[in-house]
Amino acid sequence: MARTRWFLLALLVVVVATAAVLAPSARRGDSGAAAFASAAVAGDGSRAARTSVATASTGRHAPDESPARGLAVPFPVVAEEASPALAERRELGRLLFFDPILSAENNLSCAHCHHPDLGFADGRARALGRGGAGLGPARTGGVPLRRGAPSLWNAAFAPALFWDGRAATLEEQAAGPITAPDEMGEDPERLTAELAAIPEYARRFRAAFPPPAPAAEAQAPVSFQHVTAALAAFERTLLARDSRFDRFAAGDRAALDESEKSGLKLFLSPMTRCVECHELPTFTSRQFKVIGVPDAPDAPPDAGRAEVVGGRYYRGAFKTPTLRNVALTAPYMHNGAFATLEEVVDFYASGKGRERIPQGLYVDDFIGAFQLSAAGRRDLVAFLRALTDERPPQPPPAAVPSGLAVVPRLNRNPAPPPGAAHRSQE
């Protein structure tokens, strides 16, 4: 009898341990995740429902609070050098960002490819570099670049920059386009000489980067290092975190309409698995994924992350972009393969990325077909549009110290008011 009891006890321990190991991997059938999505979106305020949802999805009991708190995840802290001159540094960076003086021919600014009215991108499938004219989709001429201009919204939170992650900091990223021959093509020494010869820039650099008192006369504040530091300081202010989704997550249950709430459920569901790569609150992640995006028809295959770190598993891998302000940054993917959010959703739902496996790509195992109704597609797109920050972007300055022409406003905002995307297709 004692031997039998010990056997049964040992068997119970094995069963419990096995269940604990296997439970996290059963994602597509994760009823806890589905329960969390439904309860958080529906706004079930009962303590019993809150506790059961938290227990099912995390294994822990939740405090007596609104389930929306599960969506209100704190943003990361922006890593930034402490300086009493930070405000001056940011303003200097803003002026430099919009000033074509950063380019060899003094006709191309950062804002030409990262325009505030285009989601700090350029509205093109692939960017046009040096020698072009115009803005956004209307830009012509110029050197065709391999990839689209990524949005700068929330770049402050990114641990790696560019589609392939080749820059570790915003300072390093800023230096790339300025010196790249196909982009702005500027020489750092020539640029600093130009800037130092402009009295207002000389004054602003000294205010933004005051040298230590003993070296006040010896150290020249206008340097290429300070140019990129100022640009990075400005770009760290480009934070998108005030959308209707954020108000909903904070407890305003009317911030999203019913279509957008249904889209949020789909986004969180184990069927679509969107949230597994586009994590809250930034709606991105540190990951580089092979999702099988088709190559541009007029360009050679792009190896992506493999060009930086090597390895066949990274061939065709690209940085997971943020979905914040995604309604403003069409077309989509690293090469603009998809013109609309509807096309993006269709690509994922069809599982077509797996068609690239015979071509030698190690397509992520998250990529796979799932059933999505026409109404579900509309709802999911409606939710993605609800991630648009409703604060107006910082406009271009009226003028810059160089006196060169500043990019004009485009006054474009494709994000509709609540429910408009859903109602327009009914």
Instruction: Report the Cα 26 to chain-centroid distance in Å.
Output: 28
Phi and psi, residue 378, nearest 5°: -65, -40
Locus of tokens 């021959």: 181
- Give residue 80's pLDDT: 86
pLDDT classification of 81: cutoffs 50, 70, 90: confident
Both tokens of 99, joined, read 């000033």
Question: Partners of 289 in the beta sheet?
Answer: 318
> How many CB atoms lie under 10 A from the CB of residue 78?
11
281 or 49, which is more confident: 281
100 within 8 A of 404, measured Cβ to Cβ? yes
Where exactly are the structural domains of the chain? 28-65, 86-240+397-412
Residues 281-299: what's their mean pLDDT?
94
Going by C-alpha positions, the residue among 327, 324, 331, 366 that lies closest to residue 157 is 324
| CA–CA dist 137, 77 (Å, integer) | 34
Query: pLDDT tens across 158-167, in order?
Result: 999 999 999 9
pLDDT classification of 11: cutoffs 50, 70, 90: very low
SS3 415: coil
Complete DSSP assignment for 314-327: GTTBEE----TTGG
Both tokens of 135, joined, read 């803005």
Both tokens of 371, joined, read 């059933």
Both tokens of 268, joined, read 């969180």
**Catalytic machinery residues:** 183
- What are the C-alpha distances in Å from 60 to residues 44, 54, 55, 154? 18, 6, 5, 31
327 within 8 A of 387, measured Cβ to Cβ? yes
The percentage of residues in the chain with a pLDDT greater than 90, rounded to a whole number, is: 73
- Give residue 212's pLDDT: 74
Complete DSSP assignment for 374-399: HHHHHHHHHHHHTTSB-SPPPPPPS-
Locus of tokens 């803003």: 94
61 or 391, which is more confident: 391
Going by C-alpha positions, the residue among 312, 327, 276, 269 that lies closest to residue 121 is 327
67 within 8 A of 53, measured Cβ to Cβ? yes
Residues 246-266: what's their mean pLDDT?
96
- Give residue 375's pLDDT: 98
pLDDT classification of 397: cutoffs 50, 70, 90: very high
Complete DSSP assignment for 260-289: HHHHHHHHHSTTT-HHHHSBTTTTB-S-EE
Mean pLDDT, the chain, integer: 84
| CA–CA dist 106, 195 (Å, integer) | 12
Q: Pick one of 3.20.20.10, 3.50.50.60, 2.60.40.10, 1.10.760.10 as the CATH number of 86-240+397-412.
A: 1.10.760.10
Residues 80-96: what's their mean pLDDT?
93
Query: pLDDT tens across 345-378, in order?
Result: 999 999 999 999 999 999 999 999 999 999 999 9
31's enclosing H/E stretch is helix 31-42
Which of 96-100, 349-353, 389-393, 409-413 is least confident? 409-413
SS3 347: helix
pLDDT above 80 (res 37): no
Going by C-alpha positions, the residue among 24, 25, 23, 28 that lies closest to residue 371 is 28
| CA–CA dist 307, 40 (Å, integer) | 41
Both tokens of 192, joined, read 């600093």
8 or 347, which is more confident: 347
31 or 153, which is more confident: 153
Residues 39-60: what's their mean pLDDT?
38
- Give residue 214's pLDDT: 61
- Give residue 216's pLDDT: 52
- Give residue 409's pLDDT: 93
pTM reported for the whole predicted model: 0.83
pLDDT classification of 79: cutoffs 50, 70, 90: confident
CB-based burial of residue 16 (10 Å sphere; 0-12 exposed, 13-18 middle, 19+ buried)? exposed
Query: pLDDT tens across 172-228, in order?
Result: 999 999 999 999 999 999 999 999 999 999 999 999 999 876 655 555 689 999 999
